[in-house]
Amino acid sequence: MTSKTPLTYRESGVDIDAGEQLVGRIKSAVARTSRPEVLGGLGGFGGLFKLPLGRYKEPILVAGVDGVGTKLKLAVEHDAHDQVGIDLVAMSVNDVIVQGAEPLFFLDYYVSQRLNIDIATRVIEGIARGCELSGAALIGGETAEHPGMHAKDEYDLAGFCVGIVEADRLLDGSSISAGDSIIGIASSGPHSNGFSLIRKVLEQSPLGTDTLINGQPIIDQLLAPTRIYSKSILHLLESIEVKGLAHITGGGITENIPRVLPIGLGAQLKRSAWPTLPVFQWIEDMGVETKEMLRTFNCGIGMVVIVKPEVTENAVSILNSCGEEAWIVGEIVKDKNNQAKVI
């Protein structure tokens, strides 16, 4: 038996008109991210990008994909939709740059139960801002409505970045040797990692998200956007020889540095070599042990640079000139277990 009332996609929970309105709202933000290699505009079936092959003899493409994780939960609860777009771009771009690659373009995926145009606009404008900061063009994306699969006003994000590097400048860590210096570049906070643990800490905190650290709400420190390092790192790569880079992402300091080390080498860092951000001290004071901190969070270092000892001071100076806080935090040592240790 058929229904007397015609069924529509909109009544089923998917509003095509809202999606079209969103595209109209974000066009100017997306346009600000454009590069000369971008072909066409929004609305096509695929984003078009002409590779700058004239600049490369043997180009290699480097791709990265990531999300924001459960940081989104806190962002939604505290109306911080403008910032998570930057987080999304940063997580993929920072992975791509550790190979020595210049970020070229970015695509995003935004999914919710029912599209809230105002919230989606804020999120995607943040994504566009992240692309501006990284130098990548936002060439497309997907906005989906999944009725019945997400809670009201909640959404999820994923992002995909592609970069390019000359084959003989690809960074794979193979030239790293014992005695090389380790430089740490400051993070803005937890970035987008460890938030399942952070949310558990907040549950046990007497004041929760109302906690103040040095007079500043803890939630502002937790939700600070992930720092994007691409432009600073690209400038550094043009200036000196860099042997290796490590993005201190999920897995913290002790799990990420070994990912770029040759077999038989480890890293030894001095914890006193860089300042402790108040947000990390608060997390530790709430009962998270030091070992767990180091394998979960960046603990104040968002990116690690490995260089020859003789260029270390110059490398720090160059990073400082790019607006980065950077410190000499340790050295590469012989270690058959390929571990990163913080003493």
| Distance (Å, whole) CA 107 – CA 160 | 5
What is the average pLDDT across 210-236? 95
Per-residue confidence (pLDDT) for residue 217, from 0 to 100:
94
pLDDT tens-place string over residues 260-270: 999 999 999 99
Q: Which residues are 68's β-sheet partners? A: none
What is the average pLDDT across 237-251? 97
Decide the pairing of beta strands 340-342 and 265-269.
Answer: parallel
pLDDT tens-place string over residues 73-104: 999 999 999 999 999 999 999 999 999 999 99
Q: What is the mean pLDDT of the chain?
A: 94
CA-based nearest residue to 108, from 68, 165, 167, 153: 68
| Side chain identity, residue 100 | G
Per-residue confidence (pLDDT) for residue 20, from 0 to 100:
87
Per-residue confidence (pLDDT) for residue 149, from 0 to 100:
86
| Distance (Å, whole) CA 343 – CA 339 | 13
Minimum mean pLDDT among 14-23, 204-213, 214-223: which range? 14-23
Going by pLDDT thresholds of 50, 70 and 90, the confidence category of residue 238 is very high
pLDDT at 11 over 80: no
| Distance (Å, whole) CA 251 – CA 297 | 7
Q: Is the dihedral of CA 314, 275, 273, 71 positive or negative?
A: negative
The owner of tokens 């990284």 is: 134
pLDDT tens-place string over residues 326-337: 999 999 999 999
Decide the pairing of beta strands 38-39 and 102-112.
Answer: unpaired
pLDDT at 3 over 70: no
Per-residue confidence (pLDDT) for residue 222, from 0 to 100:
97
Going by pLDDT thresholds of 50, 70 and 90, the confidence category of residue 132 is very high
The owner of tokens 């939700």 is: 223
pLDDT at 2 over 90: no
* Domains and their CATH numbers in the chain: 16-169 (3.30.1330.10), 181-342 (3.90.650.10)
Minimum mean pLDDT among 19-23, 131-135, 219-223, 317-321: which range? 19-23
Q: Are 133 and 43 in contact (CB under 8 A)?
A: no
| Distance (Å, whole) CA 66 – CA 62 | 14
Structure tokens at 285: 């004071």
User: Angle, to 10 degrees, between the axis of helix 117-134 and the axis of helix 230-239?
Assistant: 10
pLDDT at 1 over 70: no
Per-residue confidence (pLDDT) for residue 153, from 0 to 100:
82
| Distance (Å, whole) CA 134 – CA 138 | 11
End-to-end alpha-carbon separation of the chain, Å? 74
The owner of tokens 């109302």 is: 210
Q: Which residues are 145's β-sheet partners? A: 112
What is the average pLDDT across 115-128? 96
Helices (H), the chain: 16-31, 71-77, 81-97, 117-134, 195-204, 218-222, 230-239, 252-256, 278-285, 290-294, 312-321
Per-residue confidence (pLDDT) for residue 4, from 0 to 100:
65
